[in-house]
Structure 1
Amino acid sequence: MEMPAEQSSKDIVFSKQGAVGVVTIQRPEAGNALTREMWQELYEIGRKLHEDKNIRSVLFEGTAGAFTAGSDIREFSRMTIEEADEAFRTMEKTIRCFETLPKPIIAAVDGPVFGAGFIFSLRFDYTIGTAGARMGIPVARLGIRLGAAFLRRIEKALGTKQVRALVAGSHIYNAEEARQLGLLQEIVPERQLREKASAKAEEAARVSPGTLEVFNRWMDETTDDQFLYADPEDFHEGCLAFIEKREPRFPSVYS
């Protein structure tokens, strides 16, 4: 029986469909970019998923044409360096909450999966995308420094050499590239995306929880609680250049 939606805000909806917990990111006017508040909401949803024994699998989805553009750069541009670093720690806390969740996570991906949203997507067990899916973490032009935990996740998924090509080159993988690298497991027509992902999540809800608990042993790294994610010299210039659609002039480069 389908349960009524528990709506944390207008931007994120959490609902239950039988044994499947469904998380929908719906902020299409901003490409489903995630604000600091939305990351905190996802964390609270993650805690619910840990506690609710009736939910056996999770389905993540965005809106048509966008899974998530990553964290909200406009919001970043208004933050102090200290506030930005605290926002990154909320992201890390949220990502780790889902990494330690011993339940399979299925994702339906259409459009961009960028930034911290890309890091988050590395947790998904089975990702179904459309031909319009694009994946990457183009932070090199934003004055954002990736902490060790973020880099370890990319390295585990892609290998050391690919980390440098992806991050330093701000490369964006198209759907076929993502499939070849194992970031997408399947590419389907847009009209089939929701149906296919929902069926996969229902199938995943029938696997043994005991078998899945072994995956938690992988997550034994310490977090970067003291790491400074926002570069003190370059962060604000990178955010402003992004918003103003111009080339950044980083103080650390042009001074």
Structure 2
Amino acid sequence: MAYKFITLETKDSVSVLTLNRPEANNALSRALSLELIDALTTADASEETSVLIITGAGKAFCAGVDLAELNDDSSVLTDEGLGTESPLSVAMRSCKKPIIGAVNGAAVTGGFELALGCDFLYASEHARFADTHVRVGILPGWGLSQKLSRLIGLGRAKELSLSGNFVSAQDALRLGLVNKVCPADELMTETLAIAKQIAESESAMVTAYKSLIDDGYDSPFGEALKLEDERSTRWAQEVDYSVMAERLAQLRSRASKQR
């Protein structure tokens, strides 16, 4: 697929997907969403990609669903468009490889949901987050009402969502929404650096560990421990132990540089 509203660049096992409608604050039109689905699916299936990054062009990360398009076509919020089981939501959830959000600016409502669909977030100092569903008059459909409370606590999530207030990058860091806040001109450098560190490990190992964390988090704690035991035992039977000495030597060398 030729892309008009996003760009996809892959280098050093990292694919960068950039929402490219800066004139509309990267709002999620149907066309952009279809391109993003294709790019996610393509990168996830590519042997050249181990880690994905999603960011936005211009001053915004993503302004959410394109309200101008929604005004003309309410089916944008149906399952066939941008609803609860929309192809974009499914593509984000089913991506086997890690997705890092590089939040360069405002992430609002559906854009906030897109950010929360990533495995973790780095943010520019100019990033801001807001859940304005209650002010727009629609309910979230991509999990924001459940994910946010699990990330920052029930009371804080209710305050943020029911008020529709914006949260700054530094407050998002304090709340645990983002892992790191960077100067604007260093955001992609920092995000690419952590992505490349993740990509240094065997891709199959990374995807297996991501899946274990995600599946366990969705389960009661006791069941999650059983799941870890089952998968760990199965994985141990398939490990190539002949490369373990070399990996341990590399690990010791890396550890000495991180002191």
Letter in 2 for 1:85: T
Task: Give 1 or 2: higher helix fraction.
Answer: 2
Deviation at 1:121, TM superposition (A): 1.0
Partner of 1:8: 3
Question: Counterparts of 1:170 and 1:57 in 2: how far apart (Å)?
Answer: 32
1:28 aligned to which of 22, 29, 33: 22
Kindly indicate whether the alpha-carbon contact (under 8 Å) linking 1:68 and 1:117 is maintained by their aligned counterparts in 2: yes
Deviation at 1:72, TM superposition (A): 0.9
What pairs up with 1:130-141 in 2 under 5 angstroms? 130-141=124-135
Deviation at 1:102, TM superposition (A): 2.5
Once the two structures are superposed, what CA deviation does each residue of 1:87-141 show, in whole Å capped at 9, x if it has no partner?
2327743233222323222222222011111112113233222221101211212
Tell me, which stretches of 5 or more residues in structure 2 are unaligned?
Answer: 220-259
Partner of 1:142: 136
**1:85 and 2:74 correspond:** no
**1:94 and 2:92 correspond:** no
Question: Counterparts of 2:59 and 2:141 in 1: how far apart (Å)?
Answer: 29
* Paired residue secondary structure (2:10): strand
Letter in 2 for 1:67: F
2:169 aligned to which of 169, 175, 198: 175
Question: Counterparts of 1:90 and 1:68 in 2: how far apart (Å)?
Answer: 18
Once the two structures are superposed, what CA deviation does each residue of 1:1-53 show, in whole Å capped at 9, x if it has no partner?
xxxxx7422x1111211211110111111111110221222222222233223
Deviation at 1:58, TM superposition (A): 0.7
Question: Counterparts of 1:155 and 1:166 in 2: how far apart (Å)?
Answer: 10
Kindly indicate whether the alpha-carbon contact (under 8 Å) linking 2:103 and 2:115 is maintained by their aligned counterparts in 1: no
Partner of 1:227: none
TM-score normalised per structure 2: 0.74
Higher relative contact order (CA 8 A, sep 6+): 1
Question: Counterparts of 1:34 and 1:148 in 2: how far apart (Å)?
Answer: 13
1:39 aligned to which of 25, 29, 33: 33
Question: Counterparts of 1:52 and 1:136 in 2: how far apart (Å)?
Answer: 33
Question: Counterparts of 1:128 and 1:194 in 2: how far apart (Å)?
Answer: 9
Larger Rg: 2
Kindly indicate whether the alpha-carbon contact (under 8 Å) linking 1:102 and 1:215 is maintained by their aligned counterparts in 2: no
Partner of 1:250: none
C-alpha distance 45-103 of structure 1, shift in aligned 2 (>3 A): same
TM-score normalised per structure 1: 0.75
What pairs up with 1:1-255 in 2 under 5 angstroms? 7-9=2-4, 11-80=5-74, 82-86=75-79, 87-89=81-83, 92-147=86-141, 149-207=143-201, 208-209=205-206, 210-218=208-216
C-alpha distance 92-25 of structure 1, shift in aligned 2 (>3 A): same
201-210 or 22-31: bigger deviation: 201-210
Question: Counterparts of 1:158 and 1:20 in 2: how far apart (Å)?
Answer: 29
Cα root mean square deviation, aligned: 2.3
Question: Counterparts of 2:217 and 2:110 in 1: how far apart (Å)?
Answer: 18
Deviation at 1:177, TM superposition (A): 0.8
Identity across the alignment (%): 24
Question: Counterparts of 1:155 and 1:141 in 2: how far apart (Å)?
Answer: 19
* Paired residue secondary structure (2:59): coil
Once the two structures are superposed, what CA deviation does each residue of 1:178-211 show, in whole Å capped at 9, x if it has no partner?
1111122111111211211111211121233232
Kindly indicate whether the alpha-carbon contact (under 8 Å) linking 2:8 and 2:15 is maintained by their aligned counterparts in 1: yes
Tell me, which stretches of 5 or more residues in structure 1 are unaligned?
Answer: 1-5, 222-255
Question: Counterparts of 1:190 and 1:163 in 2: how far apart (Å)?
Answer: 26
Question: Counterparts of 1:83 and 1:103 in 2: how far apart (Å)?
Answer: 27
Question: Counterparts of 2:146 and 2:178 in 1: how far apart (Å)?
Answer: 19
Question: Could you list the runs of 4 or more consecutive aligned residues of structure 1 that deviate by over 3 angstroms after TM superposition?
Answer: 90-93, 147-150, 218-221
